Amino acid sequence: MLSLLLIAGAGSFVYYKIFGPNTGDMHKGEYLYIPTGASYLLVFDELINGGYIEDPASFDILAKRANYPNNIKAGKYKVPKGISNYDLIRKLRSGKQEPVKLVINKFRTKDDFVQFVAAQLEPDSAALAEMLNDNELLKTYGFDTSTAMAAIIPDTYEFYWNTGAEKLYSRLASYYNRYWTEERKQKAYAKSLTPLQVMVLASIVEEETNKADERPTVASVYMNRLKLGMKLQADPTVKYAVNDFTLRRILNVHLEYDSPYNTYMYAGLPPGPITTPSKSSIDAVLNAKETDYIYFCAKEDFSGYHNFASNYKDHMKNARAYQKALNEEGIK
């Protein structure tokens, strides 16, 4: 009778070790990150050191019986408190990881984007930077080292944590291609612009004003300058060229900085976008208002809006009012 009770007790014990909870108070995080190429020993150590499992021995026995050491899959895995050895091993073996949501907004430089992605996905900053500067790779997606950032349209994306650098860019480029519908392309061509040129111009509009209702008018100014063969003379391109986005005033020393992005020095559009333009700015270029404006200047009330002018005399009047306001505020 006693032997039967012992066998029954042993069976219950084994069942509990397999299907009972194996996380306790030491559980430090909700997600377990398994790097690409990780060994079973590395995963096992992380499970222990991260407090994901309370009884390592029972996990180890079951993991080896389930042949998990030969089925390691990289990724980000949710490990809820109270999960059993059986459920945890089944999840890890299946590769059923949690997606990472990347909310992409504004990135002015490649480095900004690289640091953002590297903080949330597995690829390190070096791999991402190398990809964005690989001209041969970028050509396969229709971009180059100057226009690489044009493929990044602000939106919310889902990626697996272990998505590689090239696969990440491929997904972004695919979204870009879907975004550029035939209707949008025809609007661009009607304005004598390619989709890439629209992205570059939209990036300037994006940096000129954060007032969405004003962007189509700002876009019209630059469209008019392009048609007239005037230099764009866009202050945001100078900030990009000198890599100082804190400038409140653009001085002669900045205007004389030799860079293809300095539109005071070089005619036409810069070689690539100066930020990742929002859809609002892209639409502003595609639906630019028909105006005769060729100048604009920030309003002297610092509202963020602009005064527009179709002639130099009126523009200088607006500019003097703004300069006076800057001086009164002591803004240099």
In order of start, what are the domains of the chain with their CATH numbers?
2-94 (3.30.1490), 99-179 (no CATH), 192-291 (no CATH)
d(CA 12, CA 29): 30
pLDDT at 30: 85
Contact 150, 113 (CB under 8 A): no
pLDDT at 203: 98
pLDDT at 13: 46
The H-assigned helical ranges of 25-97 are: 40-49, 56-65, 85-94
How many residues can be counted in the chain? 332
Nearest to 281 by CA among 223, 208, 194, 177: 208
Burial of 225 (0-12, 13-18, 19+ CB in 10 A): buried
pLDDT at 92: 96
pLDDT at 17: 56
pLDDT at 6: 31
> Which DSSP letter does residue 97 get?
P
For residue range 56-94, what is the model confidence (pLDDT) as tens digits? Answer: 999 999 999 999 999 999 999 999 888 899 999 999 999
pLDDT at 123: 94
d(CA 183, CA 151): 18
d(CA 24, CA 170): 41
pLDDT at 8: 41
Nearest to 263 by CA among 93, 81, 271: 271
| Neighbour tally for 15: CB within 10 Å | 10
Contacts of 156 (CB under 8 A, 6+ apart): 101, 102, 103, 104
Contacts of 209 (CB under 8 A, 6+ apart): 215, 218, 304, 305, 306
What's the whole-model pTM score?
0.86
pLDDT at 29: 64
pLDDT at 251: 83
Burial 197-213 (b: 16+ CB within 10 A, else e): bbbbbbbbbbbbbeeee
What's the sign of the alpha-carbon dihedral 212, 218, 224, 226? Answer: negative
d(CA 332, CA 327): 8
The CA distances from residue 145 to 35, 109, 172, in Å, are 29, 12, 15
The H-assigned helical ranges of 153-194 are: 165-179, 182-190
Contact 78, 30 (CB under 8 A): yes
The CA distances from residue 238 to 25, 204, 235, in Å, are 55, 11, 5
pLDDT at 41: 97
pLDDT at 22: 61
Q: Report the chain (332 residues): mean pLDDT per 10 consecutive residues.
A: 38 53 62 95 94 91 94 95 90 94 95 96 95 96 97 97 96 97 97 97 96 96 96 96 88 91 96 97 96 93 92 93 85 69
